[in-house]
Amino acid sequence: MAHTHSSRYAETYQASMTDRETFWLNVAKSIDWIKPPSRAFDASQGVYGRWFPDAEVNTCYNALDRHVAERGDQLAVIYDSPVTGSKSQLTYREMRDQVARLAAVIRDQGVEKGDTVLIYMPMIPEALMAMLACARLGAVHSVVFGGFASKELATRIEDAHPKLIIAASCGIEPNRVVTYKPLLDEAITLSAHKPGKVIVFQRPQAHATLIAGRDLDWVDAMAGAEKAGKSADCVPVKATDPLYVLYTSGTTGKPKGVVRDNGGHLAALAWSVPNLYDIHAGDVFWTASDVGWVVGHSYIVYGPLVNGATTVVYEGKPVGTPDPGAFWRMISEYKVKALFTAPTAFRAIKKEDPNAEHLKKYDMSQFKALFLAGERADPDTVNWAETKLGVPVIDHWWQTETGWAIAGNPLGLGPLPVKHGSPTVPMPGYDVQIVDEAGHPLPAGKMGSIVIKLPLPPGNLPTLWHADERFREGYLETFPGFYNTSDAGFVDEDGYLFIMGRTDDIINVAGHRLSTGGMEEVLASHPDVAECAVIGIKDALKGEQPCGFVVLKAGVDRPHADIENEIVKLVRDKIGPVAAFKLAITVHRLPKTRSGKILRGTMKKIADHDPWTMPATIDDPAVLDEITTALKEKGIA
């Protein structure tokens, strides 16, 4: 393993801090601008300033067109789908041609620069095409993850106001076909905003019924465009124009529309792909996530393509499709240089194949590094992966809001020594600090709120979609002059960051970010429920799993088990299967402080078997015994 002195990290980070302008203008040189930036940052624009304020660019051009001359026959996208038994590959030229044609189809539906398009598709190359076609026209895409239910989809349609929706007829989970079209039709019915048109990509596993006058068949529309010789050119946009909106769980049920701009995003990807992931033009980079998440946006779609690499679209799971050797099969078959996934995927593999027997079947000689993010990478899992794979295992920490790593170990600059449990050090442009509740800096080793001094670097959200005030209130007000990450942790003596958990109601289930507040809203909507509390409790596989406590209304005398089952179903129907909500527990009362605040933290400690002390402000200590008993009855505490 390389040592600190052989890494160019320290000087690189320092350069980004001392001369922001020069640093990012240098990075910007690897982007093909229509109008190059004359300056990097303008503090007077936007909520906290804007990046590359006078530049013009097109993201699709940078992801596809500019590579065609030099690497037109190189693969841009490799698709491998064990759940359907299919595989396909597209070169940069093929991808550019398909995307230009799709962009023409979209344009013919009235979509122009600045319009929004919602995309509801599984892990198929057409999802990438849809995103890139929007980028080509300067339209703003908003991808919704397939594991969300109609109501969540409806909220996003209502907030994003899409002129057009692009969907697939279905997604495929190992145990079922998820028919997207009925979910989408219901969401459109629920939403006050209605899209003008819907383009549907029909998959053989479930044929969707199209609504005459509104719905178009993808294949027909593309064939029509091809026959008419139609294709759309890249439309110049301002670097500060939005490329996409991605909704993420907020502190209430209403999701936050994280905005990504074109120029800053390109700069962040142009820096991070080579310098953090050590991926360069011609390399194969596989991110095993989903296009519905930020990780998918940055490192399945835009990051690899902007940098001329080959990306892998995997429609499958780490285990069960067909076995825990699936990842090794992919890596050897496609000569993957680096894999990026969530720790939960490795916990799943480790559980089914603890000795990594499946690994013996595959040639992994091209494989150089494993990157983990999305949740805390527990040292056990990191250790297992390092030992079995014999490559660096790199934890890195980021959020939907930031769009790329806040902290990581920059392999491309020469790796720093790994410390298990730490995502290593801040990336360029991130001035990360640990503060107490009053915003005072804390010394090394002391746990506090993790904040980032403004401005946030390029690629980070400039604001929330049509909600500057919500952005200010949610992120910038608690610690003036700083962005509040809502993560807690500490920095050690060597400047290594340790991320210990969230300071808000967000929990992390199988690398998926969920709001317990949002789940509580659903529980409270059950007619028999008087009061409720949802907490995330430790789970060996998924990191955390949600657990809901309900107090029933007086006079309700139906069997508790029936009500609990209804509640589980309600969360699945309202939020979606991705919430993985399987545990509802009826109790007589909830533990509260004398002022009426529910003691969720103490409940969590009891459920997690962590040491806990009786809160001094508790109203009635006996309630905690009742909670312990209720958890024991469910086999938990």
> Footprint of ligand COA on this chain (CB under 6 A)?
146-147, 171, 173, 178, 289-290, 293, 295, 317-319, 342, 344-345, 348, 374, 509-512, 541-542, 577-578, 580
Provide, rounded to whole angstroms, the least separation between the CB of residue 307 and ligand COA: 19
178 binds, among ligand AMP, ligand COA, none (CB under 5 to 8 A by kind): ligand COA
624 binds, among ligand AMP, ligand COA, none (CB under 5 to 8 A by kind): none
CA pair distance 627, 624, nearest whole angstrom: 5
CB closer to ligand AMP out of 231 and 400: 400
CB closer to ligand COA out of 327 and 471: 327
The full DSSP string for 42-104 is: ETTSTTT-EESTT-EE-HHIIIIIHHHHHHTTSEEEEEEETTTTEEEEEEHHHHHHHHHHHHH
513 binds, among ligand AMP, ligand COA, none (CB under 5 to 8 A by kind): ligand AMP
Indicate the helix (H) or strand (E) that contains 535.
strand 529-539
CB closer to ligand AMP out of 273 and 452: 452
The interface with ligand AMP within residues 262-321 (CB under 6 A) comprises: 294
- Residues in CB range of 31: below 8 A, 6 or more apart: 57, 62, 263, 266, 267, 270, 306
396 binds, among ligand COA, ligand AMP, none (CB under 5 to 8 A by kind): ligand AMP
Phi, psi of 125 (to 5 degrees): -60, -30
CB 206 within 8 A of CB 177: yes
Provide, rounded to whole angstroms, the least separation between the CB of residue 345 and ligand AMP: 14
Task: Give the pair of three-digit tokens for residue 280.
Answer: 């360069």
Q: Please count the other Cβ atoms lying within 10 Å of the Cβ belonging to residue 486.
A: 20
Candidate list 59, 81, 399, 484; residue touching ligand AMP; CB under 6 A: 399
- Residues in CB range of 223: below 8 A, 6 or more apart: none
CA pair distance 522, 199, nearest whole angstrom: 31
Q: Please count the other Cβ atoms lying within 10 Å of the Cβ belonging to residue 595.
A: 7
Candidate list 101, 396, 526, 604; residue touching ligand AMP; CB under 6 A: 396
Phi, psi of 485 (to 5 degrees): -75, -15
Provide, rounded to whole angstroms, the least separation between the CB of residue 39 and ligand COA: 34
256 binds ligand AMP (CB under 6 A): no
Candidate list 12, 98, 248, 262; residue touching ligand AMP; CB under 6 A: 248
CB closer to ligand AMP out of 231 and 399: 399
CB closer to ligand AMP out of 389 and 578: 578
423 binds ligand AMP (CB under 6 A): yes
Candidate list 400, 424, 545, 586; residue touching ligand AMP; CB under 6 A: 400
CA pair distance 441, 486, nearest whole angstrom: 16
CA pair distance 576, 203, nearest whole angstrom: 22
- Tell the burial category of 17 from Cβ atoms under 10 Å away from its Cβ (0-12, 13-18, 19+): middle
- Tell the burial category of 192 from Cβ atoms under 10 Å away from its Cβ (0-12, 13-18, 19+): exposed
185 binds, among ligand COA, ligand AMP, none (CB under 5 to 8 A by kind): none
Provide, rounded to whole angstroms, the least separation between the CB of residue 431 and ligand AMP: 18
Task: Give the pair of three-digit tokens for residue 514.
Answer: 């969920």
Q: How far is CA 34 from CA 66, 575, 614, in A?
A: 12, 42, 63
List, in sequence order, every residue forming a beta bridge with 551; answer none if it has no partner: 531
> How many residues touch ligand AMP (CB under 6 A)?
19
CA pair distance 630, 628, nearest whole angstrom: 5
Provide, rounded to whole angstroms, the least separation between the CB of residue 278 and ligand COA: 19
CA pair distance 339, 368, nearest whole angstrom: 9
The interface with ligand AMP within residues 348-377 (CB under 6 A) comprises: 373-377
400 binds, among ligand COA, ligand AMP, none (CB under 5 to 8 A by kind): ligand AMP
577 binds, among ligand COA, ligand AMP, none (CB under 5 to 8 A by kind): ligand COA
173 binds, among ligand COA, ligand AMP, none (CB under 5 to 8 A by kind): ligand COA
156 binds, among ligand AMP, ligand COA, none (CB under 5 to 8 A by kind): none
Phi, psi of 284 (to 5 degrees): -105, 120
| String of contacts with ligand AMP for each residue 52-71, x by CB under 6 A | --------------------
In total, the chain counts a number of residues equal to 637
109 binds ligand AMP (CB under 6 A): no
CA pair distance 341, 504, nearest whole angstrom: 24
308 binds, among ligand AMP, ligand COA, none (CB under 5 to 8 A by kind): none
The interface with ligand AMP within residues 532-561 (CB under 6 A) comprises: none
- Residues in CB range of 28: below 8 A, 6 or more apart: 36, 37, 40, 52, 55, 263, 267, 270
Q: Name the segment binding ligand AMP (CB under 6 A); options: 30-38, 219-227, 265-273, 389-397.
A: 389-397
Question: Which letter does DSSP use for residue 501 in this model?
Answer: E
CB closer to ligand COA out of 236 and 577: 577
CB closer to ligand COA out of 136 and 256: 256
395 binds ligand AMP (CB under 6 A): yes
CA pair distance 251, 29, nearest whole angstrom: 38
580 binds, among ligand AMP, ligand COA, none (CB under 5 to 8 A by kind): ligand COA
The interface with ligand AMP within residues 469-498 (CB under 6 A) comprises: 487
Provide, rounded to whole angstroms, the least separation between the CB of residue 71 and ligand AMP: 31
CA pair distance 513, 21, nearest whole angstrom: 34
313 binds, among ligand COA, ligand AMP, none (CB under 5 to 8 A by kind): none
CB 621 within 8 A of CB 614: yes
513 binds ligand AMP (CB under 6 A): yes
Provide, rounded to whole angstroms, the least separation between the CB of residue 450 and ligand AMP: 9
376 binds, among ligand AMP, ligand COA, none (CB under 5 to 8 A by kind): ligand AMP
419 binds, among ligand COA, ligand AMP, none (CB under 5 to 8 A by kind): none
CB closer to ligand AMP out of 215 and 487: 487
Binding residues for ligand AMP (CB under 6 A): 248, 294, 373-377, 395-400, 423, 487, 499, 502, 508, 513
